[in-house]
Amino acid sequence: MEDPNMYDFETLAVHAGTEPDPLTGALTPPIYQTSTFVFKNADHGARLFKGEEEGYIYSRIRNPNTDMLAKKMATLEGAEDGVVCSSGLGATLCAVLSFAKSGDHIISDSVIYGGTFSQFSEELKQLGIETSFIDTSNQDEIAAAIKPNTKLIWAETPANPTLKVVDIKAVSEVAKSKNLPLIVDNTFATPALQRPLSLGATMVIHSATKYTSGHGDVVAGIVVGSKDDIHHTSEKMGHLGLNLGPFESWLLLRGLKTLHIRMQRHSENALELAKFLKGHPKIEVIRYPGLESDPYHEVAKKQMSAFGGIVSFDVKGGIDAGKTIMNNVKLCKLAVSLGDCDSLIQHPASMTHSTYTPEELKMANISEGLVRISVGIESVNDIINDIDQVLALI
C-alpha cells in the first residue's frame, strides 16, 4: 500500500501491512513457519548481523509474519513502527524496559488490568524499578508523584475493569512538560475507536489477545511508537525471548481485517445492554462510558468515536447476587479474557484482579460485587434476554 494517509481506517484495516505474495501472487500471505533463514554466503550473514543489510536471520528476532502484523498495527495507530510480542504482558514489559532500568521509578494509574498491576508491583520491583500507583485524572497527583528518577507514565483507558476513562491529552501535556513518555494501553478501545498517539501519547501497547484477534484463539501483544523507541523495544523483545510465532501473527493479521466492523457491533451491543441495565431495579451501579449519566462520558466522547464492548455493574445483593448471575447465564460464558465474538462474563475481585489486596481494590474503585461483561457480537436481544433471565433469579 503506497501512502496510508490516502485511505480511511476501514480500508487500512483490510489492506495495511500485507501485499500479494511476490512469489505466487497469493492474496493472503503465506505463513513463514520457519525458525531460521538461510544466508546467501558467510559475508551476507555477517552483514545481516551487523545491521548493514536488511533481512531475516532468526524468528526470535524477526519473521515476515510478525513484521506484517507490526506494520499493520503501526499503520492503524498512526505510528512509525511496531513490535509484536508473545502476550499483552510481554508487550507491557518490553515497553516499560525500553525506558526504565534498575534504580528508576515509574508512575501508573491504579486502575489497570490485574496482571499488569502484579507485573509492576512484584516483577518490576524485583528488577529494581519502583511504581507509584495514582489517579492520573488528578494532575496535582501526577505532579506530586514525579521524582528525579521517574522514567514514564502509564495509563490504561478505558480501564479494566471499572471503565475509568483517562484524559489522554491532559495527561500527555503533563508528561511532556516533564519530558516523560506516556504509554497508553489501548486494549479496550483499539485504534478503531481511539488513537492515543494523535492525542499526545508516546507509545501504545495492546493485549492483542483481545479485540485485535477478536476470535479467542491467540495470546499476543503489540507495541507501537516512534522508530527510535521501537528499536529499543524490539531489542528487549528479542533479548527476553518474548517473540510471537508466525502462525499466531498470521491469525492476528486476519483478525484485524474486520476490526472496525467488530468494534462497531461490540459498541452498539454494549450500549444497548448498558441502557437496559441502567433502568433495571436489581442493578445498583452501572459503568459504561457510553451512557450520558456515566462520570467519564464527556472525556470519553472527546477521545473515542464509540465506547467499546465492556460493561461492568454492581447488582443489589453484592457478591452473592453476582455469583447467581455468573452461575446461571446460558448464552454468556463464565470466562476471563475479553474482546471475543462470544459474550464473556467474570468477577474481577476474585478473578482478573484477585492480586489486588482489599485496600487496593478500594483505591481502584473495584467493588466486591462488580461483575464485568465483555459484550460479544451476537444478537443484542439474545444477550439482554440472557441477563434478564438471571436478574429474575435474584
* Residue 157 in contact with ligand LCS, rule: CB under 6 A: no
Question: C-beta of 111: minimal distance to ligand LCS in Å?
Answer: 10
Question: Can you tell me whether residue 372 is helix, strand or coil?
Answer: strand
Question: C-beta of 185: minimal distance to ligand LCS in Å?
Answer: 5
Question: C-beta of 338: minimal distance to ligand LCS in Å?
Answer: 5
CB of 157 or CB of 202, closer to ligand LCS: 157
Q: How far apart are CA 85 and CA 70, in angstroms?
A: 10
**Positions in 301-360 near ligand LCS (CB under 6 A):** 336-338, 352
Question: C-beta of 173: minimal distance to ligand LCS in Å?
Answer: 23
Question: C-beta of 183: minimal distance to ligand LCS in Å?
Answer: 11
| Cell numbers found for residue 19 | 501485499
- In angstroms, what CA-CA distances link 55 with 59, 217, 241? 11, 30, 19
* Residue 219 in contact with ligand LCS, rule: CB under 6 A: yes
Q: How far apart are CA 255 and CA 52, in angstroms?
A: 34
* Residue 116 in contact with ligand LCS, rule: CB under 6 A: yes
Q: Which stretch binds ligand LCS (CB under 6 A): 84-92, 248-256, 266-274, 298-306?
A: 84-92
Catalytic residues: 60, 113, 185, 210
Preceding amide of 161 cis, omega within 30: yes
Q: Which stretch binds ligand LCS (CB under 6 A): 173-181, 185-193, 290-298, 326-334?
A: 185-193
Three-state secondary structure readout of the chain: CCCHHHCCHHHHHHHCCCCCCCCCCCCCCCCCCCCECCCCCHHHHHHHHHCCCCCCCECCCCCHHHHHHHHHHHHHHCCCEEEEECCHHHHHHHHHHCCCCCCCEEEEECCCCHHHHHHHHHHHHHCCCEEEEECCCCHHHHHHHCCCCEEEEEEECCCCCCCCCCCHHHHHHHHHHCCCCEEEECCCCHHHHCCHHHHCCCEEEEECCCCCCCCCCCCCEEEEECHHHHHHHHHHHHHHCCCCCHHHHHHHHHHHCCHHHHHHHHHHHHHHHHHHHHCCCCEEEEECCCCCCCCCHHHHHHHCCCCCCEEEEEECCHHHHHHHHHHHCCCCEECCCCCCCCCEEECCCCCCCCCCCHHHHHHCCCCCCEEEEECCCCCHHHHHHHHHHHHCCC
Q: Which stretch binds ligand LCS (CB under 6 A): 2-10, 49-57, 183-191, 322-330?
A: 183-191
Closest residue by beta carbon to ligand LCS: 88
CB of 48 or CB of 237, closer to ligand LCS: 237
- Identify the residue among 64, 82, 115, 214 touching ligand LCS (CB under 6 A): 115
Q: Which stretch binds ligand LCS (CB under 6 A): 43-51, 103-111, 180-188, 315-323?
A: 180-188
* Residue 194 in contact with ligand LCS, rule: CB under 6 A: no
- Identify the residue among 89, 124, 142, 383 touching ligand LCS (CB under 6 A): 89
Question: C-beta of 53: minimal distance to ligand LCS in Å?
Answer: 34
* Residue 213 in contact with ligand LCS, rule: CB under 6 A: no
* Residue 207 in contact with ligand LCS, rule: CB under 6 A: yes
* Residue 185 in contact with ligand LCS, rule: CB under 6 A: yes
- Identify the residue among 109, 156, 167, 229 touching ligand LCS (CB under 6 A): 156
**Judged by CB under 6 A, how many residues of this single chain contact ligand LCS?**
19
Q: Which stretch binds ligand LCS (CB under 6 A): 81-89, 136-144, 267-275, 324-332?
A: 81-89
Question: C-beta of 221: minimal distance to ligand LCS in Å?
Answer: 6
- In the complex, the residues that contact ligand LCS under the rule CB under 6 A are 87-89, 113, 115-116, 156, 160, 185, 187-188, 207, 209, 219, 221, 336-338, 352
